Structure formats: structure tokens, C-alpha cells
Structure 1
């Protein structure tokens, strides 16, 4: 395997002008397919992948998330006053670390686990599901707090992806329910916040960015790791420090094999690195593969993380379904792990 650097795209100035005139700031997830599209993409990758068992497990988790989202219980949402206050102060209205979670998120998660368990026959992940089912409400909330605050100390890495899956379904539902409650003024609850590298809805880090071509031009959006909202960020601009200098793109290629179907898929995923701050974030490109899905393609391209990390870059962003961490490390901060 070799890392190759892609040729540069438009200049930052050219893209900034075009984006400022044309591109919508937000791209909303759809209740009917946000998790089902992820499941389908994970199964597609799993068919011939070295991490097949894990990707199939992740696909089953996405299946459970999809089912949960279709009939999610009514939970407490921010009222009009809270939404206005967040907008006026350029803050996220559903902040991951501060939002008082409705206990019904645990009820929805437990239902997800009940439906997930029989689908994992003869899979070692069954034991992890059962471990979480036996966890007390207090411990589950404590684990959720650690996860949402990027605290690795005391976080159970075995059950963290399942708790994260429950939180993702919960936050995605809150995002969609808040939008639905606003009627025709559906994007009003979510505006630009003070930190453009974080989600305008919940303030979370992105998992990856996506180059969209579905009727909105070829523009880059960052994809939230928690609520799946996508927000626009100009291409050739660091998603960590926002510099437009020293930006490079790298892709993974099978050495000596330019005809493999796997090569086509891998080239749809690139790494954007910044020499100014030594951070990176992946970008998935719909113009190269219309079926790309940020979370699924990020999980299936862990080898890129390993190679780029060896080159001295740190990841900006997180994939909550695949966390890495040292149990002795008290906090991961903005560079919290993720595969």
C-alpha cells in the first residue's frame, strides 16, 4: 500500500467566492435513510474487507438505530426562547456536553439492544450487548457523560460504541424533531456558531467531510459525529485550524493494481492534511462514488488513519463507533480518538 498525493483543486479564494454565493450552509439528515444508508454502505464494504466481522457488527448497529429513529419516543426539546438565545450568542442549541438528557434516551437504547441481540448469533459482540443490558442507569449516564466530554479515563471502550449509537439516535431525533416543530421555518433553529469546525446543532466534532453532488453543486460539508447534521466548510481549508496554507490531499492505492474494484472505492476516500497545525480529516467524495457515507467509509478506511498518523499528523474529529484511547489518559480533548 502506498499513499499518493492528489493534484490540487481550485484555489481557496476561488472556492470561497463561489461557495459564498451559491452553497446552502446546512444539509439535514433524513429520518428514513440516515442510518439505513449507513447500514447499506457498511455491508457493501464488509463483503471483501479484512475487518468484515466488525463492519457487519456496525451495520447491525446502524440497522437498530434506523428502527429506533422511525418510532422514537417524544423527548424534551429546546423551546423557542432557548433556540433564540443560542442563535443570538452563536452557540449550538443542543450542546452535547451540556444538554440535560431526557431519560427516555436510555429506554430507546435498551429497546435497540433487545432487537440487536438476536441478530448477533454466534458473534462475540453478543457478550458486549449483554454487558450493557446489565449496566445500571447511573453507570450508563456516567459512561455517556465521559463519551460526550471526550474523557477516556473510566470509559469502557467495549460498550462505548453501543452507548454512542444510542446517543446518535437520540441527538438525530432531537435535531429532526426540533426542525419539524418549526414548520416552514425549518432551518431557523440552527445557524452559524462561533466555532465553524464544530456542529451548529450540538457542537460536536465531525467524523469526516463529504463532497456533495446531489443538486447542491460540488461543495464540502463536515459531517457531525453525533447528530449527522452536515455544515458547509470551504474546500482546501483546514477543518482544525482553518488555515488555507499547506493543505494536501492523500489517497490509498493498491500498489501496482489500478484495475481492482477496491481501488475505485478507496480513491473515493482521501485524507486532507494541514502542515500548519499537523492535523487531518478524511473527505469522502460523492463525485467518485455516489454511495459514499462518511461514518461507514471512515470505519472501512482505518488503514489511512494509521499511515497518516505515522507521518506525524493528528486527527481532527472522531468516529464514535471506533474509539481508541489509553485507560491511563484522563482526557482526550479536541483530538479525541476515533478510527
Structure 2
């Protein structure tokens, strides 16, 4: 059984009062560890989990992402003029909708699908082999649908693998662009719309609190595509930026020993994964806490807490976060009847 509790966190003013020093605006992923650590976290979460088999399969997928990211070839990157123009216009320099995708992303996808197929169950193996042999037109169409957040026409069975290849591609673009501008100032910074990623314009998967030095529990949004994290003060809705009616929901394990951890509300208050809900816009985004579990990962822990999504959706709230490892689509609209007369 599960239950929920509304919990309180520090306001932006309280955080500022308690946390000395300057909070970094951006946190960049580590090429050598990002996907490897995500794979380990997924395996850890899979133990005894109702979705254990799926979490282990996603761990295999993250493992292949790790190897693919180490082998990415050189590709076109934004030059100084492009970066300067993006900064002046307050937009991401590597926008998902407009930046030309290098064909290398398709090679990454085919390699990931081929490797996964070798140890996947029979049904999934056939799907992965078909994906590895799919033509360029199909792959580019699926990528467009994913990056534009469209479900009509999206192949939900292969979407996690397509999304994984796009994540590798944009994470490489992010890190290669950052590395290419060492000593020239960061090519990435704040943009006009703080609800989207300042590198690629992607929506967050979840947010994560991090403590660094004297900065206590600072909240960062984690990009669903390039894995960049950008700072947003707590006490502000990551969807509509309102601070009027936020609350936090968490799952409380109800079958623990009585008195072991205090009341259910106190256990929910200290949960490592919570849903931040906003009554102003009717959306929510999960938040994971490194001070409560140093191994939390925004993508892995979001996926493993699907029950929390079901609980929050029952309250009428809509999910703001995007997780390519588990996507939901709308049914295809019926084809128009050619025999039907026009009105």
C-alpha cells in the first residue's frame, strides 16, 4: 500500500540565507561516468522491484549508451558567431528542432540496437534487429516525433532506443562544444525561458537537489536529452514559474514496523523521490534528493517511481517531465472514410 503526504521545503529566501557562496548555474555531465552510473543505479533499483526485468533491460541500454558516448566521432559544432547570436537572442545554441542532426546518430542507434539484441528476450530481439535494419527515413521521422513531443506515428516499442541514441548524440554535442571553447568563456548560459534546457531546449526529466560546498540543497532541472542540469530556485514551479500553490507528494511505505521511522507523514517528508505539484498550472515534476540518497539518478529514479506518477495523475495533475525510457502515446486517429460525403 502507498499513501501520500504534503511536505514543506525551504523557500528560496531560506536557502539563500543558509547557503553561502555562489551557486553554479549549470552542471555538466561527465562523459566517462554519466551512463555507466545510470546503468548501475537501474540495476540497484531493479532488485525486488515489480518492474525489475524492465529496469534491468534499461540498465543494459544505459550500458550501451556509455560505450557509444566514448566512441562518438567529430561532427559539426556551433561556431562563435552562432553561440553569440543565441546568447543575444536568449535561446539555446543547439536547439533540438533546428540543429542539423549528424548522420552519426543513426550509426549510434544501429550499434546500440544490435548490441542489445544479442542479450534481449526473443520478442524484443526481433524488434531490435528490425530497428537496426530500418531505413534512414523511418529513423529520422521517429527522431522528429520524439524531439517535438509528438505521439501520433511514434513507435512506442522502439522509442526508448531511438531516444537513447539521441541522448548520446546531444550529450556529445554539449560536451564537445564546451570543450572546444575552453578559455573563451562558456558557450552555454541562462536563456530567456528558464523552464527548458539552456543547451538544447529540451524539457527536464526531473529535478535534483545537490549540495556543493556551502550551497545547501540547490535544485537543478535535468535535461531529458543532453543531460545538462540548470539551476532553478526551489519554491518555483518548473512549468509555469508560479510560487503560489506548490505542494510535494511522496510514496510512504505503509507496511514498515510501527514507530520505526515515525509517522507516515514524516517518512514521506524524508522520501528520496517526491512529486512537486502546482495548482496554478496543474502540472507536476518529480524531484530527487542526493542528501537522502547519494546514488539517486533523475532518469533512473524517475522510471522506478512510476507508482508515484499514477498516484499524482489520480489528482488530475499532468506530468511535465519527459523520460525516453518510458513513454506513453495517444491512440492513432481513425483514417478518414473515402466514401464519407463532405458537409
Distance in 2 (CA, whole Å) between partners of 1:141 and 1:112 is: 16
User: Are the equivalent residues in 2 in contact too, given 1:73–1:108 (CA < 8 A)?
Assistant: no
**CA deviation after TM superposition for structure 1 residue 128, in Å:** 2.1
Q: Which runs of 5+ in 2 are unaligned?
A: 262-266, 335-343
Distance in 2 (CA, whole Å) between partners of 1:37 and 1:214 is: 19
User: Are the equivalent residues in 2 in contact too, given 1:191–1:200 (CA < 8 A)?
Assistant: yes
1:1-339 alignment runs, 5 A limit: 1-15=1-15, 22-120=22-120, 122=121, 124-185=123-184, 188-215=186-213, 216-257=215-256, 267-328=271-332
User: Are the equivalent residues in 2 in contact too, given 1:45–1:55 (CA < 8 A)?
Assistant: yes
Q: Which shifted more, 131-140 or 171-180?
A: 131-140
Q: Deviations over 1:284-303 (max 9, x none)?
A: 00010000000000000000
**CA deviation after TM superposition for structure 1 residue 98, in Å:** 1.3
Distance in 2 (CA, whole Å) between partners of 1:93 and 1:17 is: 34
Residues 127 and 18 of structure 1, relative CA distance in 2, 3 Å threshold: farther
TM-score (norm 1): 0.91
**CA deviation after TM superposition for structure 1 residue 7, in Å:** 3.2
User: Are the equivalent residues in 1 in contact too, given 2:110–2:133 (CA < 8 A)?
Assistant: no
Q: Which runs of 5+ in 1 are unaligned?
A: 331-339
The size of the alignment, in residue pairs, is: 325
Distance in 2 (CA, whole Å) between partners of 1:329 and 1:84 is: 43
TM-score (norm 2): 0.90
Greater C-alpha Rg = 2
User: Are the equivalent residues in 1 in contact too, given 2:112–2:161 (CA < 8 A)?
Assistant: no
Structural RMSD (CA): 2.1
Residues 147 and 127 of structure 1, relative CA distance in 2, 3 Å threshold: same
Distance in 2 (CA, whole Å) between partners of 1:269 and 1:189 is: 32
Distance in 2 (CA, whole Å) between partners of 1:281 and 1:86 is: 27
User: Are the equivalent residues in 2 in contact too, given 1:57–1:125 (CA < 8 A)?
Assistant: no
